[in-house]
């Protein structure tokens, strides 16, 4: 990182949600929260993973005066329960959860903001529900193709092997991979 770069001037302050709670789908209790301007342009933040969850740091990415930002921890992720469950947890289930949340919050159209796995989910949702999407913002796009999954499973470790040897990162990486594959492959 450049030494003259000050991230505080490029991000918004952390603010508290004006609404938060859980909704139940199948056997899952899914956490959501809203920040910013309740009358602002609606944005749905789709986190990476699967399994990552949202954090207060993500709130700093959006102008709270202009946007109504909805965060939700996807099934098995973050504050949603049960944690790390892959039962009834496929891309199709997540798309249904997004539609349920949109209807619950009475949102006609929203911007989808997705990173990594969240970009895949945003694209899958937009393909099935284009009338509810006003725009897509995608970063670190991961499409879950066989080539990408093979790189993630077998090739990526070549670049990080020295960091992982003798650390708990290897077992964490293997466990998160085992968790993610059934969700990505549906």
Q: What is the domain-level CATH number for residue 132?
A: 3.40.50.1820
Query: Does residue 12 lie within any of the structural domains?
Result: yes
- Sign of the Cα pseudo-torsion (158, 164, 168, 172, in order): negative
Looking at the structure, tell me whether residues 132 and 160 fall in a common domain. Answer: no
Q: In what order do the strands lie in the sheet with 41-46?
A: 19-25, 28-36, 67-72, 41-46, 110-115, 133-139
Give SS3 for 67.
strand
Predicted structure pTM score = 0.81
- Residue with the two structure tokens 């990476």: 48
Task: Give pLDDT tens digits for 135-182.
Answer: 999 998 888 788 888 887 777 777 666 555 555 444 554 555 455 555
Give residue 99's domain range.
7-143
Q: State pLDDT tens for residues 21-39.
A: 999 999 999 999 999 999 9
Name the DSSP class of 81.
B
Model pLDDT, residue 150 = 81
Together in a domain, 115 and 104: yes
Q: Degrees (nearest 5) of the Cα angle 28, 41, 132?
A: 60
Domain count, the chain: 2
Q: Do 158 and 76 lie in a common domain?
A: no
Looking at the fold, whether 92 and 149 belong to one and the same domain comes out as: no
Q: Are residues 163 and 71 both part of a single domain?
A: no
């Amino acid at each position: 990182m450049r030494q003259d770069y000050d991230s505080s001037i490029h991000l918004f302050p952390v603010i508290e949600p004006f609404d938060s709670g859980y909704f139940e789908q199948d056997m899952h209790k899914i956490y959501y929260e809203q920040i910013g301007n309740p009358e602002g342009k609606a944005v749905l933040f789709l986190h990476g993973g699967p399994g990552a969850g949202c954090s207060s740091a993500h709130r700093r990415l959006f102008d709270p005066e202009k946007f109504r930002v909805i965060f939700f921890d996807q099934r098995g992720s973050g504050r949603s329960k049960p944690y790390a469950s892959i039962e009834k947890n496929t891309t199709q289930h997540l798309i249904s959860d997004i539609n349920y949340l949109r209807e619950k919050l009475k949102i006609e159209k929203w911007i989808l903001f997705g990173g990594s796995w969240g970009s895949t989910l945003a694209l899958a949702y937009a393909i099935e529900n284009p009338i509810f999407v006003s725009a897509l913002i995608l970063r670190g796009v991961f499409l879950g193709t066989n080539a990408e999954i093979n790189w993630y499973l077998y090739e990526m470790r070549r670049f990080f092997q020295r960091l992982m040897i003798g650390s708990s990162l290897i077992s964490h990486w293997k466990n998160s991979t085992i968790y993610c594959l059934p969700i990505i492959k549906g």
